[in-house]
Amino acid sequence: MNNYVIQALIKSQMSPGYMANYINAIINMYCNNTKNNINIHIWGACWGKVISNGTSVKDLVNEVFHNVPKNKVTIVLNDYYPGSTSKDILNELQYRGYSTSIGTNVRNHSKIIHIFENEEVNFLMVGSSNFSANTYLRGRTFIDQTDIAFIKATPESSNIVGSIINAPGSSMLGTNQLLYSWATEAIDRNIDNIDSDPYWTSYINSNPLIINTPYQSKEDIIKTLLNELTPINLSGVLSD
Distance CA 127, CA 111 (A): 6
* CB 196 within 8 Å of CB 162: yes
Starting at the edge strand found earlier in the chain, the sheet holding 146-152 runs 99-102, 73-78, 38-43, 111-117, 120-127, 146-152, 2-10, 211-217
Show me where the domains of the chain are located.
Answer: 2-228
Among 65, 25, 60, 26, which Cα is nearest to 46's? 60
Amino acid symbol at 221: I
* Rounded distance between C-alpha atoms, residue 228 and residue 124, angstroms: 12
Each residue's pLDDT tens digit in the chain (240 positions)? 788 888 888 777 677 788 888 899 899 988 988 889 999 999 999 998 887 556 789 999 999 999 999 999 999 999 999 989 999 999 999 999 999 999 999 988 889 999 988 878 789 999 888 999 888 887 654 556 789 999 988 877 877 777 777 665 543 344 555 566 666 666 655 555 555 566 666 666 555 567 777 777 778 888 887 777 655 444 333 333
Whether the CB-CB separation of 122 and 29 falls below 8 Å is answered with no
pLDDT, residue 63, reads: 93
Secondary structure of residue 212 in the 3-state scheme: strand
Cα→Cα distances 236→80, 106, 127, 239, Å:
10, 6, 18, 10
Cβ distance 76 to 42 under 8 Å?
Answer: yes
Q: Which pLDDT value is given to residue 230?
A: 59
Cα separation, 230 vs 203, in Å, equals: 29
Phi, psi of 197 (to 5 degrees): -95, 130
Is this prediction's pTM over 0.85? no
Q: Are 25 and 64 in contact (CB under 8 A)?
A: no
* 2-228: CATH number: 3.30.870
- Coil, helix or strand at residue 69: coil
d(CA 208, CA 197): 16
